[in-house]
Structure 1
Amino acid sequence: MTQKNVHQGASLAPQATADAKTVLKLLPLTLTVFIGFLTLGMQLPVLPLHLHDTLGMGTLVIGLVVGAQFAAALLSRAWAGNFADMRGGKRAVMVGLVTAAVSGLIYLVSLAFVAAPVTSVWLLLGGRVLLALGESLIVTGALGWGIGLVGAQHAGKVMAWNGIAMYGAYALGAPLGVALNTGWGFTGIAVATIFIPLLALAIVTGVRAVAPTATRRAPFYKVMGAVWVPGLGLAFCSVGFGVVTAFIALLFAARDWGNSSLAFTAFGVAFIAARLLFGHLPDKIGGARVALVCVLIETVGLLLIWDADTATIAYLGAAFTGFGYSLAFPGFGVEAVRRAPPQARGLAMGAYVAFLDISLGITSPLAGLLASGWGIGAVYLGGAIAVALSFAVALMLLRGREAQVLYKS
């Protein structure tokens, strides 16, 4: 072995040890987010059936009740961010978990009013809003708390592992919710929604807290002004995620390709694999550089789905889309953290994630209009164009950073 190789090995070993320590510090938070978000995943396939089959509600009411959670999550991001900054990330996560558990209690109460469907629906709506507040506190608090534990230089890892927890919980929560609903009906979902967050609360109680970063409430518009450019990149690249999750089943049905579940699996496996293998890159080489490459991968994936003439090509496209989107999120997120004032980091994370909420809220109705006019395949061409716009945002961020470096030198 040459002397150069010996030096390289010696320098890599401490880096690997430091990375392992960072992951171990984040592990309790990652597990907490995963367990907490199981409650959301469980309800996705079950709540619409309960509203339709048990309470006799139409699609408009179902859409309003299901969508209320996402709307309330978006509206509560600023409040949750300020709460995390002023009270600390640990307290935000713990309050969020308790709030999520209370939403399950309201679900349970709603079952006592099945004979009065309107009352039952209003209670369910209240439970969904409470769950949204809990989710905002959990995700915003966990991001700020994680960055406080391991340092802003590891912000990409914090986002990567939180993302693995969230999307893994959605993937596992759906079949778990179906199983609970099959065995115990919506009562099983309500009881699980009460106790699962409390299990996460028990895990997170012993984790070291980080001191609050702010003593007074920061104006949301100022923080939004600091993170809007990377947030815009997140909004554009999240369109790919939105069209795959919302319309891939319709595409498979329209083209007579059978069950679309493998497309979701391909997306999810590629998403998690990318974060496990390359989640360190945004911190190491810069978020804008990673986003620049990954949105191109995501765009190629969407174009493959658009032009697919077999299910196999569509699976490949879904995998490319999941892989690219997986690292684009922390890539733009690292740029958001870099621009945010340290004392308002929780609020900045709330503002950044709000761009995801906005994107997903707009994508479905616009894509539906596109599909009605030009066919279901056009959704994926439109998605590819939207994601390609995030390439321009990443390029702007990269050139801005390079200009700063040249100016300082």
Structure 2
Amino acid sequence: MTHKHTHPASSATSGDAGANPVLKLLPLTLTVFIGFLTIGMQLPVLPLHLHDTLGMGTLVIGLVVGAQFAAALFSRSWAGNFADIRGTKRAVIAGLVTAACSGLMYLVSLAFVEVPVVSVWLLLLGRVILAMGESLIVTGALGWGIGLVGPQHAGKVMAWNGIAMYGAFALGAPAGVFLNAAWGFMGIAVSSVFIPLLALLVVANVTAVAPTATRRTPFYQVLGTVWTPGLGLAFCSVGFGVVTAFIALLFASRGWGNSSLAFTAFGLAFIGARLLFGHLPDKLGGAQVALVCVVIEAVGLLLIWGADTALVAYLGTALTGFGYSLAFPGFGVEAVRRAPAQTRSLAMGAYVAFLDISLGLTSPLAGVLASGWGIEAVYLGGAVTVALSFGVALMLLMGRADGKQAVPVHYKS
């Protein structure tokens, strides 16, 4: 038989189409925020724990920290199928419980501080478990949100999920530093167990959306439907990658002092753009918004490349954050238009996988660029790569102008 484009979730949205979608998404946004607080708290603390307490070098630190990225990438397919088949609410709940289990692994690792190798392996396992939880939370929340408010509000769902994630990173980092100063890594481990469980209280009474699929869909099939907007996301995410990975090194090399204001400028512009203009991809079209926003992002990166004062670099990071903020849901709306309804969570997982791949490749490649041509060359390279996503947005627009509408593929079962 062939799945129809309609699905059980559609009944959840048809009866109250007039309800404010942002209000309906609020509990899910709060759930994602709480779930990602644990990741944000660990960002500044885990490398210090590995180096100072366990005596590990940069290679081991890179492997343990990077393990979460790799595990997140490889678990997107599993998490997306889980959400589509078992239900998005169940996926989010399972993700929160899984994230809490990663905290338990951190606690166990502290019992082996005197045997650093064992402690590191336990931390590595904790990072992998956390990544699996993160995949379930993100893919589940995206699919659930679209099921609740309808695909016509897909851009808002992605925009508010992004606000929750990046807000959690921004607030989680100083919270993690505070906990570490007061109670050491034990404070981080205990918090990592209990904080995700708090989100269960928020999500408990949110209306569930019926599962949209009855069988597992191969990841490559969905990847084929979203690869064009996914490629746009991969190119424009390079700007985000070079700012987060190399802005501190640029400031240090120029003697501009603390780079934390650059991160603040990026974060405020990112969240501000989503609050003020998060509705535009749904209203104007994802490709149109992406087309403009990647230009803003590329200009921001060029400003950082040519900056001769810290103030110009701050302006550059703000423009980069602003542009990238709306490019993500812009290309994402195009991905949703191409995704069959019964595999929507899996399609969202496939789309976000392009971000994982992009960030995974950006740091090492930019490192090679910096070692050969200087740290500022990273930002010129970033601007050129982001400009490629302009071509992708143009391709999406031209495809629509030629009458090649995105028709969701119907998978046989």
> Shorter-normalised TM-score: what interval?
over 0.9
> Superposition pairs for residues 303-322 of structure 1, below 5 Å?
303-322=302-321
What's the offset of the Cα at 1:202?
Answer: 1.2
SS at match of 1:216: coil
Distance 1:314 1:190 in 2: 36
Q: Structure 2: 5+ residue runs without aligned partners?
A: 1-15, 408-413
Q: Which amino acid aligns with 2:184?
A: G
1:217 is aligned to 2:216: yes
- Aligned counterparts, 1:2-401, within 5 A: 21-401=20-400
Q: Distance in 1 between the 2:37 and 2:22 partners?
A: 21
Specify whether residues 183 and 280 from structure 1 end up closer, same or farther in structure 2 by C-alpha distance, changes over 3 A only: same
Higher share of residues assigned helix: 1
Deviation, 1:62, is 0.9
Q: Residues 338 and 406 of structure 2 are in contact (CA less than 8 Å); yes or no, is this contact kept in structure 1?
A: no
Give the aligned CA root-mean-square deviation in angstroms. Answer: 1.4
Q: Matches of 2:232 and 2:387 in 1, distance apart?
A: 10
Question: Distance in 1 between the 2:355 and 2:18 partners?
Answer: 28
| Secondary structure of the structure 1 residue equivalent to 2:375 | coil
Structure 1 residue 188 displacement after superposition = 0.2
What secondary structure, in the 3-state scheme, does the structure 2 residue paired with 1:404 have? coil
Rounded Cα–Cα distance in structure 2 between residues aligned with 1:359 and 1:135: 18
Quote the Cα distance in structure 1 between the aligned partners of 2:187 and 2:406.
60
d(CA) in 1 for partners of 2:18, 2:261: 33
CA distance in 1, matches of 2:250, 2:393: 30
Going from structure 1 to structure 2, the CA distance change for 1:406 and 1:115 (only over 3 Å counts) comes to closer
Distance between the aligned counterparts of 1:119 and 1:302, measured in 2?
A: 42
Deviation of residue 60 (structure 1)? 1.1
Distance 1:307 1:19 in 2: 48
Q: Tell me, what secondary structure is at the counterpart of 1:212?
A: coil
TM-score, normalising length from structure 2? Answer: 0.93
Preserved contact between residue 271 and residue 325 of structure 2 (Cα < 8 Å): yes
SS of residue in 2 equivalent to 1:110: helix
Cα distance in 2, alignment partners of residues 311 and 62 from structure 1: 30
Task: Kindly tell me the number of residue pairs found equivalent between the two proteins.
Answer: 392
Note if contact 2:399-2:405 (Cα within 8 Å) is conserved in structure 1.
no
- Secondary structure at 2:165's aligned position in 1? helix
Inter-partner Cα distance in structure 2 for 1:407 and 1:387: 24
Aligned residue identity for 1:203: V
Give the distance between the partners of 1:377 and 1:37, measured in 2 at CA: 31
1:274–1:214: structure 2 CA closer, same or farther, 3 Å change rule? same
Secondary structure, in 3 states, of the residue corresponding to 2:111? helix
Shift in Å at residue 19 of structure 1? Answer: 8.2
Percent identity, please: 82
The residue identity in structure 2 corresponding to 1:378 is A
Return the alpha-carbon distance in structure 1 between the equivalents of residues 404 and 396 of structure 2: 13
Could you tell me how far apart the structure 2 residues matched to 1:361 and 1:405 are? Answer: 33
Deviations 1:157-205 (A, max 9, x none): 0000000000000010000000000000000000000000000111101
1:18 is displaced (CA, Å) by 7.5
Which whole-Å deviations, capped at 9, do the CAs of 1:335-366 have from their partners, x for residues lacking one? 00000111000100000000000000000000
C-alpha distance in 1, partners of 2:170/2:405?
Answer: 45
The TM-score normalised by the length of structure 1 is 0.94
Structure 1 residue ranges, 4+ long, deviating more than 3 angstroms after superposition: 17-20, 405-408
